[in-house]
Amino acid sequence: MSKKKRILTGDRPTGPLHLGHYVGSLKNRVLLQDEYEQFILIADIQALTDNFENPQKIKNNILELALDYLSVEISPEKSTIIIQSQVPELAELTVYLMNMITVAQLERNPTVKNEIRQKGYRENVPVGFFVYPISQSADILGFQANLVPVGEDQLPMIEQSREIARRFNSLYGQTFVEPKEMLSEVPRLCGIDGKEKMSKSLNNTINLSDSADIVVEKVMRMYTDPTRVRATDPGHTEHNPVFIYLNAFHDDKKEIKDFEDRYRLGKVGDIEVKKRLVEILNSFLEPIRQKRKEYEKDSHLVNSILKRGTEKGRAVVEQTMTLVRKAVKTDYFG
């Protein structure tokens, strides 16, 4: 029997997942779960690094995140969902890995650099936030992941994990798998305001848990072509969220092409295209809402999925930690 390669992915439980998450990662996870051994980490400890003043928010979002996963058909039979904080060995591993990297190396990490700037921390970066890439490396190495599906912006994290693994392995002997990135080719989905990225902090998302009415409301105020004043003006379809979403969520390419042609000629109004987009998005979201409702009714079931997943994941990290403690000679009592 061929051993499946292992994948680790994860999210911070800080808010509802949206269509951008679906296009950028969830869809891929649903496909990958058949071919790989997939672990999905609900990274609540990492979420606390920049939300430590608001732990209740993180706690509430753990269940919401699990519901998002389950509602898009990430299957608890095929994928293992883990709550990070319930695997304390990951924190233990983080401490050992801290010795494998310098402050200068961490400071060079472009992802963290960016986030520090965005958050306006300046000189007052909490240490926990500054070192979260080490904790993320512990996640990846603790699970002995072969592959980590990521977008471009997370590449430095994987590179750093690899460096840490190499350093550890060369100092103490072969202990960790060197992880590789699995770059997803899916383009980023723009926000309903046309901004490059759909993002909770930009308040421009359509969430997987949004009701049909909310989708109507959001699509109706969606940005389109600012150069077009009347429906009879020739319009632009590129960089136009309405058409970007149509292409991302509608299979009938002929119908899209027809809309695009007419839009460019000024022969169809925004409202007509938007009405069609509402139908398409709502028929995409409806089964997701239904599935979510089923799980919402049965919080026992969701809890037991999380409990089982966490136990299974913890057992994997425990195995890794047996090797690690031996390597760093902290296995005093055997």
Q: DSSP 3-state assignment of 182?
A: strand
**Minimum CB–partner distance for residue 330 and ligand TRP (Å):** 24
The whole-angstrom separation of Cα 113 and Cα 98 is 18
235 binds ligand TRP (CB under 6 A): no
- The number of C-alpha atoms within 13 Å of 148 and in the hemisphere containing its C-beta is 32
**Minimum CB–partner distance for residue 321 and ligand TRP (Å):** 17
* 192, 218 contact by CB (below 8 A): yes
Q: Between 41 and 83, whose beta carbon lies closer to ligand TRP?
A: 41
**Exposure string for 36-67, b = 16+ CB within 10 A, e = fewer:** bbbbbbbbbbbbbbbbeeeeeebeebbbbbbb
The whole-angstrom separation of Cα 77 and Cα 274 is 38
12 binds ligand TRP (CB under 6 A): yes
8 binds ligand TRP (CB under 6 A): yes
Q: Between 85 and 224, whose beta carbon lies closer to ligand TRP?
A: 85
Q: DSSP 3-state assignment of 330?
A: coil
6 binds ligand TRP (CB under 6 A): no
Q: Which amino acid is at 59?
A: K
- Site size toward ligand TRP (CB under 6 A) is 12
Q: Between 10 and 313, whose beta carbon lies closer to ligand TRP?
A: 10
Q: DSSP 3-state assignment of 47?
A: helix
Q: Between 169 and 199, whose beta carbon lies closer to ligand TRP?
A: 199
224 binds ligand TRP (CB under 6 A): no
Question: Which of the stretches 38-46, 280-288, 304-312, 325-333 binds ligand TRP when contact is defined by CB under 6 A?
Answer: 38-46
**Minimum CB–partner distance for residue 289 and ligand TRP (Å):** 24
Question: Which of the stretches 66-74, 117-125, 135-143, 261-269 binds ligand TRP when contact is defined by CB under 6 A?
Answer: 135-143
43 binds ligand TRP (CB under 6 A): yes
38 binds ligand TRP (CB under 6 A): no
46 binds ligand TRP (CB under 6 A): yes
140 binds ligand TRP (CB under 6 A): yes
Dihedral sign, Cα of residue 110, residue 112, residue 116, residue 118: positive
Q: Between 10 and 309, whose beta carbon lies closer to ligand TRP?
A: 10
* 72, 66 contact by CB (below 8 A): no
Residue of 7, 11, 74, 225 interacting with ligand TRP (CB under 6 A): 11
Residue 225 CB partners (closer than 8 Å, separation 6+): 235, 236, 237, 240
Q: Between 83 and 219, whose beta carbon lies closer to ligand TRP?
A: 83
Residue of 7, 10, 37, 205 interacting with ligand TRP (CB under 6 A): 10
Residues 143-202 that bind ligand TRP (CB under 6 A): 148
DSSP conformation letters of 96-159: HHGGGS-HHHHHH-HHHHHHHHHHT-TT---HHHHTHHHHHHHHHHHTT-SEEEE-GGGHHHHH
Q: Which residue has the closest beta carbon to ligand TRP?
A: 10
- The number of C-alpha atoms within 13 Å of 47 and in the hemisphere containing its C-beta is 23
Which residues of the chain form contacts with ligand TRP (CB under 6 A)?
A: 8-12, 41, 43, 46, 136, 139-140, 148
